Structure 1
Amino acid sequence: MTDQELQTLVEAISAEYFARPFRHRARFNKRLRTTGGRYLIRSHDIEINPRHLEEYGEAELIGIVKHELCHYHLHLEKRGYQHKDRDFQELLKQVGGSRYCQEVGNGRTRLPYRYELVCSSCDMRYKRKRRMDPARYRCGRCRGKLRLEELALR
């Protein structure tokens, strides 16, 4: 789907579900990572994460567009457009938009623990993802000296 097709889809959803025109721009933004879309308050434009269309299809995309259009129309009417506002929650329920979007694999993976600080006195172990200087710290349990050990990655 291109940006122009998205623009047409957003205009059609706005006319059908909100009975109001969408007079600004809708576009895909592949830099969005953790959200399905966003409404830009200053320009009144809507940006959509294209990964949701790729992974979950057009039904998920329509739910996200309805959600962003709720922000759009309520903001232009000077009513409560934030997630916490009752106006937003009621309009979202009325049009059948999605409150939350599906999680997208955004390429980020959790780093495994690579290091361990070990106390020389009580053998307390502290796992760390980043390398650090053990001479600057002491054990939280017994105030003993720490030594840094590198863990084998699995």
Structure 2
Amino acid sequence: MDNNKLQEMVEEISIRFFQKSFLHQAFFNPRLRSTGGRYLLANHNIDINKKYFELFGEKELIGIIKHELCHYHLHLEGRGYRHRDHDFKQLLKKVEAPRFCTPLPGRTKRRTVKKVLIYNCQECSQLYKRKRAVNTSKYVCGKCKGKLVLVKELTEK
């Protein structure tokens, strides 16, 4: 399937399920990695991840298109188009669009190794465990206002 066929498919689904025309562009975006599609607020275009069509077929693609068209039509009407909005959830149910797309196989969390930084106060010996680095020239001990020093960095699986 190419971008022209995708455009035709989006226009047809828009008329069939929403009874409204799709007046903008729909195309495959090869840079999309973790999402099935994306509605762009700035120009009202829709990007689709071609991997979902290749791996799961036309049924999954139609679901993604319906989901993005919900964002599209609600935004143009000035109604709640975000995932948390009541209007959006109602329209998803009405057109039987999925709230989330099927996860791609092989996609796992990026960070499987957890990093823990341990800081020690030089004045009162208070220990602080942090996941993110602390700027020791800017931040001080919350107990006594003493200088913090990085003691060690632990990595856990």
Structure 2 residue 7 is matched with structure 1 residue 7:
yes
2-structure distance, mates of 1:150, 1:71 = 47
Provide the secondary structure at the position in 2 that maps to 1:117. strand
Given that residues 118 and 149 in structure 1 are in contact (C-alpha distance below 8 angstroms), is that contact kept between their aligned partners in structure 2? yes
Amino acid at match of 2:117: Y
Match of 1:113 in 2: 115
Match of 2:27 in 1: 27
Instruction: Output aligned runs, 1:1-154, within 5 Å.
Output: 1-32=1-32, 35-53=35-53, 56-76=56-76, 78=77, 80=79, 82-83=81-82, 84=85, 86=87, 88-103=88-103, 109-110=110-111, 112-113=114-115, 115-120=117-122, 121-130=124-133, 132=134, 134-154=136-156
Q: CA deviation at 1:65?
A: 0.7
1-structure distance, mates of 2:43, 2:137 = 52
Return structure 1 stretches of 4+ with deviation > 6 angstroms. Answer: 105-108
Given that residues 116 and 129 in structure 2 are in contact (C-alpha distance below 8 angstroms), is that contact kept between their aligned partners in structure 1? no
Alpha carbon RMSD of aligned pairs, Å? 3.4
TM-score by length of structure 2 reads 0.67
2-structure distance, mates of 1:136, 1:73 = 48
Provide the secondary structure at the position in 1 that maps to 2:43. coil
- Identity fraction in percent: 42
- When residues 89 and 148 of structure 1 are mapped into structure 2, their CA distance, relative to the original with a 3 A threshold, is closer
1-structure distance, mates of 2:140, 2:63 = 52
Provide the secondary structure at the position in 1 that maps to 2:61. helix
Q: CA deviation at 1:68?
A: 1.6
- When residues 146 and 55 of structure 1 are mapped into structure 2, their CA distance, relative to the original with a 3 A threshold, is farther
Structure with greater strand share of residues: 2
Q: Deviations over 1:58-113 (max 9, x none)?
A: 4333222102222333455x352523253x43332111012233456778723732
TM-score by length of structure 1 reads 0.68
Q: CA deviation at 1:39?
A: 2.5
- When residues 9 and 127 of structure 1 are mapped into structure 2, their CA distance, relative to the original with a 3 A threshold, is same
Given that residues 112 and 129 in structure 1 are in contact (C-alpha distance below 8 angstroms), is that contact kept between their aligned partners in structure 2? no
Report the number of matched residues.
151
